[in-house]
Structure 1
Amino acid sequence: MPQRQWVAAAIQKIEADFNRSADTHLIPLALPAYPGIEVYFKDESSHPTGSLKHRLARSLFLYALTNGWLHEQSTVIEASSGSTAVSEAYFARLLGLPFVAVMPASTSPDKIAAIEFYGGRCHLVDDPGAINAESARLASETGGHFMDQFTYAERATDWRANNNIAESIFKQMADEPHPIPSWVVCGPGTGGTSATLGRYVRYRRHPTRILCADPEVSVFFDYYRSALAGKPDTSLVLPCGSGIEGIGRPRVEASFIPTCVDAMLKVPDALSLAAMRYVSTQLGRRVGGSTGTNFVGVLQAAHKMHAAGQTGSIVTILCDSGERYAHSYYRPDWYTERGIDTVQADAALARALAGEALPGLPMCEA
């Protein structure tokens, strides 16, 4: 019974924290070249830990608690060098539990500082491909729990209710000119968000389609294409991670459910970052690279709708603030160091904003 009492108190703390937090905003953005098509950003940067991953971390903690995987002496461990680790450190501190983020040694000092701000400890490994195995080893060694976001993201979220992101979007759209979105655009990171969105629209019997915009260095697009062909290839592996932080993976993750997705788009990093810079100028504040990837998906969906003579709405996700990338994406010499042609990417984006099709972007539809 003492363990059950601790779990009940821990869940109450998380629920109280949720009740103290307002819902995230839905921000419109005009696309003059696409009359009759309304675009909205679901601003997840306004969560207490500043990103979409705040929802995931809350769900993962509730899932682990109700499964009996966490107890009063647990060390919480996650394989993450980014926003998930920041958000999990926040919830671990809320419950008085130690938190360890297992991450590549190349992780930026800014991210390490953000995790440590919430009381987390960063465990650095030389081989980025070994972070899952090292997380499992640490969990076994400490008697702790490896949260394993890439396995549990899709099943930890209650996609029917519990104020998930899909339910929140549709409630906020209720009084808009086109309350049922034609498309919802997201990026695949764990796969949890695309699964939640896809399941919700089917459960509520909405005609909304889910478009996943995959970054340049990621296996999800190719995996999706193989799944559409009836031969899902779970063995796909890349030697390095995505250049767009927070989305894309070098291997197929268990939480990515291809049948929850209606279409996928492969987006070059240079175009993602051009879109990121454009959205930042339109909103008057910096956004992250994954928001740029999503916006390229929005333009693709808008062009398809306009070409078909359709009107309607498109909702996408503003995943996190660009302030986290002040020393990378928002530094001009960062692009020079990597040989990224910003002039060509900006020109391609400008043509798309003027109503032209984005050339040469691979897209698959179910």
Structure 2
Amino acid sequence: MARGIGDERDRAWVDRAIELLLADRAAEAPTPLRAFPLAGPPGAALYLKDESRRPTGSLKHGPARDLFLDALKAGQIGPDTSLFEATSGNMAVAQAYFARLLGLPFTAVVPGKTGAAKRRRIEEQGGRCHPFDPPLAVYEKARSLAEESGGHCLDHLERVGDAVDWRGPESLGAQILGDLEKAGESAPVWVVVGVGSGATSAAVGKYLRMRGVGTRVAVVDPEHSAYFPGWAADFPGYTTGMPSRIEGIGRPRMEPAFDSSVVDLVIPVPDVASVAAMRHLHAVTGVMAGPSSGSCLWGAFSVLDRMRREGERGSVVMVVGDAGESYRDTYYDDSWVAAKGWELGGPLSDMERFTATGTWGVALGE
């Protein structure tokens, strides 16, 4: 329990904080569902659930709020609690937003080589960055800083799976089904999501199974990540020891929040395909999203082709994980991509052909 929680004043503050976060969730507009213009395959449709429209620009916004609510209810956050997290990504941006909403200091412990643009996104939401090396030591450093200050480490990789409210009407699974119903569509055949902490695929999969709609969940996984080989081998202890090059998804180990029992398919996606696909998504729809959304689009085309081959009709929904503005100097920059050795021409041609004709010609997971 964080220091200073227990007296009447502190409990009153916690009650107000919970009310504030619940009111914030109720007031937040649902993210849009957009149709992707496909010429084929016949009888199939592709929709984008655009989570980049969240207030902090990514699907991490809702889980971050759930982490705060869970910690408040557990008595781990009070009016004077300093908050810490070990990440430089979208989760830290969202956590900084909610910490500022509650008037609490927030520190993201980030690898020393974290770029200025990523630090700036956290700082713009009121957080501060604490660079630390080696990169894999940031998790223990965040916990030690919290302990030394009498604060609280939000520790999303360990806690987010239990914190996420996957049953509620504002959950991502509920919104996907509700959006399609409003559009006059039945439940989708597939939902395609990326996997970082594993919380999103678990939350969506649990909700869909609770509803009994028959929708299957496909997870896309980049190179060097543990989820595809661990899932294929049914070995949750699988590790790679290597970082993902696709920001937002991929982990060197299978994180605790990942629930393989609600995942029907894991699709390995080459990194070059993820980058080509994010650019194709922008060119076709105008949606400028991050590279994890490119992975999802590649995966969505794969399952649409599978549906065509098996004579299955219906819709596929892919989740757009985050906005692409912060990637202008990296994944959207030709010089940066060339320095990585990624040749985008082949996968771009594959995607353009599929969008125009419905002919894929790429083996699942290739």
Q: Structure 2-normalised TM-score?
A: 0.94
8 A contact 1:45–1:321 mirrored in 2: yes
Query: What residue in structure 2 maps to residue 236 of structure 1?
Result: 239
Say if 1:237 and 1:252, in contact at 8 Å, map to a contact too.
no
Cα displacement (A) at 1:313: 0.7
Name the counterpart of 1:45.
52
CA distance in structure 1 between the aligned counterparts of 2:42 and 2:365, rounded to whole angstroms: 25
Matched pairs, number? 358
Q: Which runs of 5+ in 2 are unaligned?
A: 1-7
Q: Which residue of 1 aligns with 2:4?
A: none
Q: Letter of the aligned partner of 1:180 in structure 2?
A: A
| Secondary structure of the structure 2 residue equivalent to 1:39 | strand
CA distance in 2, matches of 1:27, 1:327: 26
Distance between the aligned counterparts of 2:361 and 2:245, measured in 1?
Answer: 21
Q: Gapped runs of 5+ residues in structure 1? A: none
**8 A contact 2:350–2:360 mirrored in 1:** no
For 2:83, the equivalent position in structure 1 comes to 76
Q: Within 5 Å, give how 1:53-132 maps onto structure 2.
A: 53-132=60-139
**RMSD (Å), alpha carbons:** 1.5
Deviations 1:157-204 (A, max 9, x none): 121115111111111111335321100000111111000011101111
Query: Cα deviation per residue 1:9-65 (whole Å; 9 max; x = unaligned)?
Result: 101111222233211111111221212111111111111111101011111111111
User: What is the Cα deviation at residue 345 of structure 1?
Assistant: 2.4
1:327 equivalent to 2:329? Answer yes
Displacement, 1:344?
2.2
* Structure 1 position 235, deviation (Å): 4.4
CA separation of 1:360 and 1:304: change in aligned 2, threshold 3 A:
closer
Work out the CA distance in 2 between the residues paired with 1:51 and 1:362.
25
Who is 1:293 aligned against?
295
Task: Tell me the CA shift for residue 237 of structure 1.
Answer: 3.0
8 A Cα contact 1:185 1:317, kept in partner: yes
Find the aligned partners of 1:218 and 1:202 in 2 and give their Cα distance: 26
- Corresponding residue number in structure 1 for 2:346: 344
Contact 1:103/1:122 (CA < 8 Å) preserved in 2?
Answer: yes
Shift in Å, 1:3: 2.3
Match of 2:284, as an amino acid?
Answer: Q
User: In 2, are the aligned partners of 1:198 and 1:261 still within 8 Å (CA)?
Assistant: yes
Measure how far apart 1:78 and its partner are.
Answer: 0.9
Report how far residue 351 of structure 1 moved.
4.0
Correspondence for 1:265: 267
Asked whether the equivalents of residues 237 and 254 of structure 2 are also in contact (C-alpha less than 8 Å), the reply is yes
| 1:144-293 mapped onto 2 (5 Å cutoff) | 144-227=151-234, 232-239=235-242, 241-293=243-295
In structure 2, give the amino acid aligned to 1:335: V
For 1:309 and 1:79, the matched residues in 2 are separated by: 46
3-state DSSP class of the match of 2:192? strand
Q: Is the 8 A contact 2:229 2:238 kept in 1?
A: no
AA aligned to 1:299 is: F
Q: How far apart, in 1, do the equivalents of 2:363 and 2:310 lie? A: 20
Shift of 1:358: 4.9
Cα distance in 2 for partners of 1:208, 1:218 equals 25
Contact 1:63 1:156 in 2 (8 A): yes
Paired residue secondary structure (1:102): strand
Answer whether contact 1:37 1:313 (CA < 8 A) is retained.
yes
**Kept after mapping to 1: 8 A contact 2:302/2:364:** no
Measure the CA separation in 2 of the matches of 1:170 and 1:360: 29
- Residue-by-residue CA offset, 1:56-75 (whole Å, 9 max, x unaligned): 11111111111111111111
Of 300, 311, 314, the residue aligned with 1:312 is 314
Moved more, 16-25 or 351-360: 351-360
Identical positions, percent = 39
1:314-354 C-alpha deviation (Å, 9 max, x unpaired) = 11111111101011011110111111111222223334444
Give me the whole-angstrom Cα distance separating, in 1, the residues matched to 2:214 and 2:363.
28
Question: Distance between the aligned counterparts of 2:169 and 2:67, measured in 1?
Answer: 13
Question: In the aligned structure 1, how far is the partner of 2:179 from the partner of 2:168?
Answer: 15
SS of match in other structure, 1:300:
helix
Partner of 1:36: 43
**Which letter does structure 2 place at the counterpart of 1:19?**
A
Counterpart of 1:11 (choices 14, 18, 33) is: 18
**TM-score calculated relative to the size of structure 1:** 0.94
Shifted more, 242-251 versus 90-99: the winner is 242-251
Whether contact under 8 Å (1:267, 1:361) holds in the other structure is no
Q: Does the CA contact (< 8 Å) of 2:194 and 2:296 recur in 1?
A: yes
